[in-house]
Structure 1
Amino acid sequence: KNVRQTFYLNLAASLLVTVIITFIILLMIRGYNKKLEFMARNDTLTGLMNRTAFNDSFSDFLNLCNRRGDPLSLIFFDIDNFKNINDTLGHQAGDSVLIRIAELLKTRLRRTDIVGRWGGEEFIVGLIDTDHKNAEVIAETLRKAFEEDPHLLHLSSSPVTASFGIVTARNGDTIDTLLTRADSAMYRAKELGKNRIETAIEH
C-alpha cells in the first residue's frame, strides 16, 4: 500500500512539474513573440515607431481625415550638425542624444499625435486634427525644448538644435506627397541657417 501511495505521489509530482515547465515555456514563447513584434514595429534605439509602422498608422489617419474633412499636419525634422556629435564625441554620445530627443518627443506631444524615427537623425510627427497654425506652435515647442534641454547640453557640450519642415494635408495627398513637401521645407530651414521652422510652399 505504501509503495502504491508513493508511486502515485511521485506521478502527481512529475505531472505537476511538467505542467509548470510547460507553462513557463509558453510564457517565454509569448514574451519572445511580443519582443519580435515590438522590434518589427519600433526603432530599437529610441522605442519610437519605425518607418513602416509610422507609414501604416499615418496612412490610416490620413484616409480618415480625408473622408471627414479634418485637418492633418506633418512635421519632419533633422537634428542639426549630428555628424559632428558622432565624429567628435563618439557614436555612444550620438545614440544618447537620439534617445533623449525621443524622450522629449514623448513628453511634449499629445496622446493623439504619432511619432517615429524616420532614420538616422531624422524624426517625423503626425498631428491629427491639427491645422497649419497649430502645427507651427507644436513645432516651435519642440524646437525650444531641444535647444534649451540641459541634458542634451550636457551630452553634446553645446545646444542641440533641429531644423523643421511643416506641411498640412490637402485633398488627394498621400504620405509620400506630404513627406516630399515637408522634406523640402526642412532642407530650406537648413539652408537658411538651421534651428528654425519652415513651411512647405503650396502651389
Structure 2
Amino acid sequence: MPRSALFSQRSLILTLILLLGCGFLATSLLSYFASRSSIRDNIVNTELPLTSDTVYSEIQKDLVRPILISSMMAHDTFLRDWALAGERDPTQISRYLNEVMGQYHAYTAYFVSSASGNYYQAKMGVLKQIDAQEPRDAWYFRVLKMQAPYEINVDLDMANQDKLTVFINYRVHDYHGNFIGVTGIGLSAEAVVRLIDDYQQRYQRQVYFVDRQGQVVLTGSKGGAHGARTGQALRELDGVRELLKQMPTPISGSYEYLSRNADSHFLNVRLVPELNWYLFVDKREDGALDNIRQSLYLNLAICTIIGLVVLSLLNAMVKRHQDNIETLATLDSLTGLPNRRGFDLLAAQALNEALREPKRLVALLIDLDHFKQLNDTHGHLAGDEVLRQFAQVLENCLRQADIICRWGGEEFIVLLKDSDAVKAQEVAEKIRRHTEQRPFNFADKVIRLTTSIGLSSLQPDDTLHSLIARADHALYRAKQSGRNRVCVEMSRSDDE
C-alpha cells in the first residue's frame, strides 16, 4: 500500500477514535432514557451476536465433528469394497461399525445397502430390511433422492430402544459415482440436550435450534424460550406471536419483541450451515436496565470495547475494499470477463499446473467476424451489447474450470484445462455453431454473428507466449480461409 494511502487510513481511524471518545463522554451525561436506549442497543447488536458466535464455535466442536466422521465412513475404501463385493460376511461390517463407535465414541453407527436393502448396525449385524412401505424407513428414500451429500435427521433409533437420536445420514457412492447406500453415526439426543443445557448455563441465555420451516428441532431439558419443545412450530408458541410478525420464517438477524406477558426479549438468529438449522439465542430484558446509574462507568468501558471492535471491523472492511478494487482491475468492465491482466495471472497458474503434473492444455483464440462492419452499420453501442452477449455464449459453452478472457477489441481467448485437441475442437465447433445460430439482439434488432477460431495444444517446451502465438497463426488461417470456421495449429511435422 502506498505510504500516503496508509497515512490517510491511519488518520481516518484516529479521527474515528476521537469522535467515538467524544460520543462516549457525551453518553455519560445523557438522561436515563438515552442510557437505557444505549444499553438496549448494545444487547441487541453486540452482546447477543457475540454470544451466538461463541455458541456457534462450541457447536462446531461438539456437533459438527460427527459430520466429518460420517464423511470419512462414506469415503472409506473398506466399506465401499465390502458392499461392492456382495456383502458376503456381515460380521466384517459389524466389526467395522463397532470400531467406528469405539474410536469416536459414537452412540450408534450403521450402513444401509442399496443393493440388498439390509440395514447393518454395529451391535446387531443386520438389523432389518429397508421397506418402502414402512414409515420408519422414509428417511432412507429421502436420502436416496436428495442432491446434498448428507442430512441431519432427528429420529427414533430402533437399535437402542427407540431413543431419540440425532442421525447424520451420509450418501455412499462407488468409485464411478453410483449410489450404493447410506452410512453414518448417531448422537444420543440426550447428549445433545445436555450440551444445550451447558450452553444455557454458561451464557445465561435460552438456546435452541429451529429448522428452515420454523419447527423447533432441539432444545434444552427445560425447553427453549416460552417453553418451546422439540417438534413444536414457532407459530404454536403464544410468546412469539409479535416476533413472527417481524420474522414469519427463520432468517438471520437481531430482533426485539414483547412476549405474551409483556416481557421484553432480545433475540439473535444465525444460520448454522453445517446443520442447516438456525441457532436462536434469546435473552429477557429482566433487570439489565434497573441499575443504569450504578453501571454507568461499566457501560462506558463496554462502549469503549465495542468501539475498538467496530474500528477493527472498519479496518478489515477498508482492507477488503482495497482488495476488491484490485480484483476489479483484473476484470473487463464491459463483459465482466478477466482482462489481459487477469488472464496473465490465471493463465500462468494453469500453465504451471499443466507442465508440472503434466496435464493437457489447449488455447482457443476467437475473433468476431466483420466486427468493424457491425460497428459501422449498427453503432458502437450495438457492438458493445454484442460483445456482452457473446461473453454469455462463451460462458454457456465452457466449464467453470476453463479460463475465459477478453483479449482485446473483438478478440477473446480461452484456455481449456485437461482437454485434448479432439475435445477442444468439439468445444470450438460448439462455440462457432452457437454463435452462428444465436440471434444477437439490440434495440429490437436481430444481429447475426460468426466467429473464427484458432486452436493450439500445449507442447512440453511451450511458454504462454508460444502457445498463444500458434493459436494466433491458426486464427489467421481460419480468417484467410473464409472465416466462420475452426483451424487447428499446424503440427511440428507439418512445420518441418
CA distance in 1, matches of 2:446, 2:29: 76
Given the alignment, which residue of 422, 428, 441 partners 1:133?
A: 422
Shift in Å, 1:113: 0.5
Shift in Å, 1:157: 3.7
* Aligned-CA RMSD value: 2.8
Superposition map of 1:43-58 within 5 A: 43-58=332-347
Asked if residue 118 in structure 1 is aligned to residue 143 in structure 2, the reply is no
Superposition map of 1:25-40 within 5 A: 29=318, 32-40=321-329
Indicate the residue corresponding to 2:381 in structure 1. Answer: 92
Is the 8 Å Cα contact of residues 49 and 117 (structure 1) preserved in structure 2? yes
Is the 8 Å Cα contact of residues 59 and 174 (structure 1) preserved in structure 2? no
CA distance in 1, matches of 2:377, 2:313: 47
In the TM superposition, what whole-angstrom CA distance separates every residue of 1:122-145 from its partner, at most 9, and x where no partner exists? 000000000100110000010111
Mark the structure with the bigger radius of gyration.
Answer: 2
Aligned residue identity for 1:171: P
Shift in Å, 1:175: 0.8
Give the 3 Å change call, closer, same or farther, for CA 189–4 of structure 1 in structure 2: closer
Aligned residue identity for 2:424: A
CA distance in 2, matches of 1:62, 1:31: 29
Is the 8 Å Cα contact of residues 42 and 50 (structure 1) preserved in structure 2? yes
* Structure 2 segments unaligned to the other structure (5+ residues): 1-27, 39-295
Aligned residue identity for 2:355: N
Q: Does the residue aligned with 2:329 lie in a helix, a strand or coil? A: helix
Aligned residue identity for 2:474: A
Asked if residue 188 in structure 1 is aligned to residue 477 in structure 2, the reply is yes
Indicate the residue corresponding to 2:280 in structure 1. Answer: none
Comparing both structures, which one devotes a greater share of its residues to strand?
2
Shift in Å, 1:72: 0.8
Q: Does the residue aligned with 2:328 lie in a helix, a strand or coil? A: helix
Indicate the residue corresponding to 1:77 in structure 2. Answer: 366
Comparing both structures, which one devotes a greater share of its residues to helix?
1
Give the 3 Å change call, closer, same or farther, for CA 149–136 of structure 1 in structure 2: same
* Structure 1 segments unaligned to the other structure (5+ residues): none
Give the 3 Å change call, closer, same or farther, for CA 167–4 of structure 1 in structure 2: closer
Shift in Å, 1:23: 8.9
CA distance in 2, matches of 1:70, 1:147: 31
Q: Does the residue aligned with 1:170 lie in a helix, a strand or coil? A: coil
Q: Does the residue aligned with 1:177 lie in a helix, a strand or coil? A: helix
Shift in Å, 1:39: 2.0
CA distance in 2, matches of 1:127, 1:51: 17
Shift in Å, 1:120: 0.5
Q: Does the residue aligned with 2:482 lie in a helix, a strand or coil? A: coil
Indicate the residue corresponding to 1:66 in structure 2. Answer: 355
CA distance in 1, matches of 2:352, 2:316: 38
TM-score (norm 1): 0.85
